[in-house]
Amino acid sequence: MSRVPRQPLPGVVTHLLSQALGRHVMPGHLWSGVVGSADWVPADQGMRVSRDLQGTKSLLNNWLASGGLMFEADRRNFMTVSGVALTTPAWQYLDHLKNVPPTGMFDEILGSSRFSAAKVSPALLEYFWTLIGAFRRMDDLEGGRPENLNQVGVALHQIAGYLKSGTFSVKGAAKELMSVFAQVAQIGGWMAFDAGRHGLAQRYFLAGLQAAQNIGDADLGSHILACMSYHAVERNQLQEGNELADAAVRAARATHPLVRTIVTTRVAHARAASGDLHEFESATDEAAGLLEQSRQMGGGPEYLYWFDSALANAVQGQALVMYTLQASRGNAALIGRAESLLERSIAEQAAAPRDAMLFGAWLARAHAKRGDLHRGLDLAATALRRAPSVASQRSRKVLFDLDKDLANLRSDRNLPEVRELRKQLRPALAA
């Protein structure tokens, strides 16, 4: 009789096999009588529900019945999904985009009729909108700090409780609260991505996408799909990232130009990472035109306050560096262009320390690749100085890749300044 590995290995192994084979493999298929660990589950566990309000209600009921375990960041380890498990919800979103129930149906299906049920009042909604602003500011300043991510989990649990069991004092309150849920889930997904909690990030994004579809918010749904694409590409899930970007483009056709700018920027990012320079340039040109159109029109979703020409330049510069890292030749001009874009952007990122650290690390890699080693080392040292106040595993990963770049240098890796920086990098990367 073969030995059965200790938990959580049976669940982890069968999850990886399921992803590779494209079909569900249970621990019992490999080890008789063995079940998976309750502490290690796929990111979409319990999320495969119908795309209507009843499906969302079922999702909320399942979550609350398990004491919040479906989402909270500090209780379960969520394993990332790939392939159709990640992309099918995007296409389902598009298929059901126009199936938006009337406002009154939210009040009928959600909440409770009990007299003692907690009341969802305009004041409570105002509190949650204020909380969303605070979460966004936390993310700008501190990145994916675990304490902040846990607060998002607590807020989602509260909101889900009101959606399931509250009473709505004014017409439209249930639908508005669903909008709050969608936005908090999007923020949580981005924070979890930044914290390196990739399964949790997928879970939050999927929940936010479901809620955005229910309320018919094409702007937010398109933005979440764009976030999912960017996240997938950063994890080297290039096929999924490109497919999610394509879905975001379709979802965003009738949205505000600012939304389409972000979506098209994520398309450019996915194409560059995949080695398609022509499509990258095409998407970049389109994004520039859309950004100018957005400036002239004004407005746009309030939650996209952070996206401007500086961010567009930074993401474009990052994408160019990614392209050159996997291209074989003809890189000098592209690296120079990436440096110029990133330099301009970082100078304007003082109000967002996490972004300054992230794109500073990318700029350091660009300089090191072009042979301007001393400038690269200076930029890396600056990024390192931000590390104690910014809990961004995403940024640390770029510094980790820079450390590998330096280790692979032929002669210069033994320079005293290179060895000193690598020595300083070790504790930051281990944090």
pLDDT by residue (tens digit) across 349-365? 666 788 888 988 998 98
Share of residues in the chain with pLDDT > 70 (%): 87
Q: Which letter does DSSP use for residue 143 in this model?
A: B
Place of tokens 């994890």: 235
**Cα gap 208→189, rounded to integer Å:** 9
Roughly what angle, to the nearest 10 degrees, separates helices 84-95 and 198-215?
Answer: 10
Q: What is the pLDDT of residue 264?
A: 98
Q: Are 262 and 304 in contact (CB under 8 A)?
A: yes
Residue range 301-307: mean pLDDT, rounded: 93
Please state, for a pLDDT cut of 90, what percent of the chain lies above it.
52
pLDDT at residue 67 is higher than 60: no
Distance CA 61, CA 162 (A): 11
Task: Report the alpha-carbon distance of residue 44 to residue 200 in Å, rounded.
Answer: 9
pLDDT at 74: 46
Q: How confident is the model at residue 23 (pLDDT cuts 50, 70, 90)?
A: low
The torsion angles phi and psi of 329, rounded to 5 degrees, stand at: -160, 175
Predicted pLDDT of residue 38? 61
What band does 98 get if pLDDT is binned at 50, 70 and 90?
A: confident
What backbone phi and psi angles, to 5 degrees, belong to 9? -60, -40
SS3 label, residue 134 = helix
User: Pick from 424, 423, 418: which is nearest to 406 by CA?
Assistant: 418
**Taking a C-beta distance cutoff of 8 angstroms, is the pair 151, 184 a contact?**
no
What integer pLDDT is reported at residue 345 of this predicted model? 82
Cis omega before residue 8 (within 30°)?
Answer: yes
Sign of CA dihedral 210, 216, 220, 223: positive
Query: Quick one: which of 141, 140, 175 has its CA closest to 159?
Result: 175
Residue 84: its pLDDT value, please? 93
- Structure confidence at residue 73 (pLDDT): 47
pLDDT (0 to 100) of residue 135: 97
- Answer whether 261's CB lies under 8 Å from 294's CB: yes
- 166: pLDDT confidence band, cut at 50, 70 and 90? confident
Q: What is the pLDDT of residue 14?
A: 66
Q: Report which of residues 23 and 264 the model is more confident about.
A: 264
- Token match 């529900």: residue? 49
Tell which wins on pLDDT, 15 or 151. Answer: 151
Distance CA 228, CA 223 (A): 9
What is the residue-averaged pLDDT of the chain? Answer: 87
For residue 230, the Cα-to-chain-centroid distance in whole angstroms is 7
What's residue 186's pLDDT? 98
Radius of gyration of the chain (CA): 22
Average pLDDT over residues 10-25: 62
Reply yes or no on whether the pLDDT at 160 is more than 70.
Answer: yes
| More confident of the two residues 353 and 394 | 394
* Domain locations in the chain as residue ranges: 1-37, 43-216
Name the residue with tokens 């967002």.
352
Check: CB of residue 304 under 8 Å from CB of residue 312.
Answer: no
What are the structure tokens assigned to 209, written together? 């996408």
Report how far residue 90's alpha carbon sits from residue 250's, in angstroms, rounded to the nearest whole number.
10
pLDDT band at 1 (very low <50, low <70, confident <90, very high): very low
User: What pLDDT, on a 0 to 100 scale, did the predictor assign at position 106?
Assistant: 92
- Helix (H) / strand (E) containing 286: helix 277-297
Q: What is the mean pLDDT of residues 401-430?
A: 87
Task: Let me know: does 230 contact 307? Beta carbons within 8 Å.
Answer: no
pTM above 0.85, yes or no: yes
- Identity (one letter) of the amino acid at 107? D
pLDDT for 187-216, tens place per residue? 999 999 999 999 999 999 999 999 999 999
Q: Which of the two residues, 8 and 55, has the higher pLDDT score?
A: 55
DSSP state of 5: P
Tell me how far CA of residue 123 lies from CA of 169, 325, 364, in angstroms: 11, 51, 47
261-273 average pLDDT score: 97
Sequence-separated contacts (24+) of 335-338 with Cβ below 8 Å: 335/366, 335/369, 335/370, 336/370, 338/363, 338/366
Distance of CA 225 to the CA centre of its chain: 9
Which of 204, 222, 240, 247 shows the shortest CA–CA distance to 92? Answer: 247
| Residue linked to tokens 């300083």 | 424
What's the whole-number mean pLDDT along residues 320-340?
A: 82
Stretch (H or E) spanning 27: helix 27-30
**Lowest-pLDDT range of 163-172, 174-183, 196-205, 210-219:** 163-172
